[in-house]
Structure 1
Amino acid sequence: MRGLSWLLGFVATCQLACWAQAADMGSLDSTEPLRVGLLRDGNFPFSQPAQTSVPANHAGLEGFEVDLMDALCEAAEINCTAVPLATLDERISGVANGTLDFTISALSYTPGREAVVHFIRPFYYESGVALFGSDQAGLDLFGPDAPTQQALEAASGWGGLFTGSFLAGQTLCAVEGYYALPFILKDIPNLNVRVLPTLQEASDTVRGGGCAAFMYDSVTPVSEVALQVLNAPPAYESPYGVGISLEDKGSELEQRLVYAMTGLMNQGNSSRILELEQQWLVPNGIGPSSALQDVVTAISTFGSQPSGPGESQVPQSYSLFGTRQTGR
């Protein structure tokens, strides 16, 4: 069962009294807003240019992660303002060099990235590589003899998916520069892949019969690619986390953010983070995330909401998902 090891770790951590009493809240300056990096482009519906009027601190953005910023900062009792970003480098270097105080920008965890920025726990969502196909093609890539979902989740990478029932000679489309492509080709070296310059061209090629399916992020709205998600679980899953500087690891800022994020997950099905998922992601064909639901259930069942961020040791077992990640 996905998330079971995390759930056991969570229970053990809380049995060791992972929360302490509230500390002095005055050490973070509440008059200067903290700078929060949010993606401006290519991240719908997590963050994108707003279609209507939004608060000044949103910097013209709206979406799941924008509202998550507001909810986190309110719970952590800190003043925050969004800083629109365009690239992966801006997300990581901005936190590392101090031009950003933290980022909430679909930044997936990898051990390599955590050597540069620190991810607070719990993580707040996840993405993986999904397969999108066309109604026209009508292809069931995995056939009646495909492994069960449990077997697929236990498989190493996508190597466990393409066993026997995958149609010989079929080609999968991908977008040039897609982060997961090197990992997929390494795991399945004989896979036929057609790499195209843009998302639109890859989607059009699938609909035109030039590829059997298209590999892309599982959090991609189906309306954006005009294709349906095929019946296969996402591979190469990576959790999304709030990134802070290495210098802030264990700091009051991290303590406040851990406290706030846990609080957003601590009311069962009424938890604020699930409300945001229903507001922004589910209507656009994303989620609901079963892994996020597992964590919300665990925190709501076994957690004890603290009276404030406190000076407790940050519980590293708040790690939401597993550790086989590549990174977006």
Structure 2
Amino acid sequence: MQSIKEKIQSVANSQDLEKLKVEVVGKKGILTLAFADLKNLNGEAKQSRAKELNLFKQDFEALFEAKKGEIRTLELAQKLQEENIDVSLFVGQRRGKEHYVNLMIEKIIDYFIALNFELCEGGLVEDDFHNFEALNIPKFHPARDMQDTFYTQDGKLLRTHTSPVQIHVMKKKTPPLKIIAPGAVFRRDYDLTHSPMFHQVEGLVVDSYGKVGFSHLKLILEDFLKYIFGDIVVRFRSSFFPFTEPSAEVDISCVFCKGDGCRVCSHTGWLEVLGCGIVNHAVFESVGYKDVSGYAFGLGVERFAMLYYGINDLRSFFEADLRVIG
């Protein structure tokens, strides 16, 4: 036992310690063979030898575990020392950059602030009235199926669009109004072109009845889209939204193929970029407005950023892609 104890104390690493263990208690180890020889003994000699071997085994296991812990501590300290990083070292002038989504939001805001739009923001958690009912989306309305919503246990929800900001503002202020509402929104969806959290910017203009109409909406959106994407063609297609009537989807000529047709635009030459329309009178009724007219529009910031910066996977905005977030 003394020689085994001396060997354990002299071991310097985990590999050698495991080899010693095999040498002692392995299939052909010293202790294993000694136990096998017990069959050749009888009576008190066998009992005495068995007791001696069991004590030896207990002592060996205790010494082995103690040495194993000691070596593990030393090896961990050595590894930490080898992998130590001096965070104070100067490694160059590489700087981080602002996220593409934030850059696009700022670019959009700059345009509308220059036209005297007021920047308004709201909470991420809303109630059913502000997120749906006040926007002419009553319970069981099929439009709710388009917005797979995150609900909380107390009946609240994570807003599915930034339109609730419009309702809050109209309930507090009287016309005329010109607001822009950027912010994060949430829907239960995730793939190449959808994310459970993304960003929208919505605009609302309200004035006395007859002072604003679709021609004003069309003019400002055409100018805005050319401000973002440059030399493009803009078209309006009839559509449906519960909170606007009439409603339209807005397309631009493909920024990649210049309208000739490519994989990005599904060979149509057009890219859908936002929705808009004249505010439905039911929305004004829900906030107590009378004798007014207005228009609204909404866009997805990530959609704009993907087109503007040439990014083909929406998930790049939220994952560790250093080309986007580095």
Q: Is TM > 0.5 for Structure 1 vs Structure 2? A: no
Question: When the two structures are superposed, what TM-score results if normalisation uses the length of structure 1?
Answer: 0.21
- Higher RCO structure (Cα 8 Å, ≥6 apart): 1
Instruction: Using structure 2 for the length normalisation, give the TM-score.
Output: 0.21
Structure number, greater radius of gyration: 2
Q: Which has the higher helix share?
A: 2
